[in-house]
Amino acid sequence: MSSTPPDAIRPPSSGPERDPNRPTEGGLPSEEELEARARECFTQWGVIDLLAHIEVVWNRRLSTSAGRAHPRRLQIHLNPRLLARVPERIDEVLVHEAAHLATVLLHPGSRHHGSEWANLMQQAGHEPKRTHDFPVQGLRRSRSYFLHLCSGCGERRIMDDAQAPKGCDCDPALTDVFRAPRDKEGLSALNRHRVG
């Protein structure tokens, strides 16, 4: 069964060439290996239109999402920092996102995690789960900025983490930490704050 992609779905534009010698993080599979696995799923599901165009990308900007499907770009983004913690679950996440792409083509207008998507997951040998239970500690981006201010030497460091390591050699008791919202006004307030 072949399907024609909707007009809104186009093959990815040619981007920068991949370095075939680039090491993957923590022994993770290469993007090319992941694309081959996605093509196996598309063949099994009868979605041959995706075979030549699929692109799988390790995306370090993902924080707690294991993966994300981008149907218009025919891309799957996977989170290397999270999946390095649970490498045995990479195939499950890849199939989950590939099933989203296939569902868009096979069943336009269907629900995001609907029965059509669930059927594809089961055909590929995975339980259709909407969310993951992977350990995400330390991966969330802070909703605040933190100013680490040493009253001994005056060193100032604005960080994402209240527990960030100190940079100066002064007694840690001399460092105060101030918090502000993670926005332009919060950053400006921390930049104006002085030892007082």
Best CA proximity match to 25, nearest among 69, 101, 83, 71: 83
State the catalytic residue, choosing from 32, 33, 97, 116: 97
Supply 96's token pair: 């989950």
Side-by-side strand order, sheet with 144-150: 156-159, 144-150, 175-181
Q: Residue 70: what are its φ and ψ, rounded to 5°?
A: -120, 85
| DSSP designation for 53 | T
Active site residue 97: yes
Quote the distance between the C-alpha of residue 73 and its chain's center.
Answer: 16
| DSSP designation for 109 | T
Best CA proximity match to 64, nearest among 131, 162, 143: 131
Bridge partners (DSSP) listed for residue 149: 156, 176
Sort 124 into a burial class: Cβ within 10 Å, 0-12 / 13-18 / 19+. Answer: buried
The one-letter amino acid at 149:
L
Side-by-side strand order, sheet with 75-78: 55-58, 75-78, 67-70
Active site members: 97
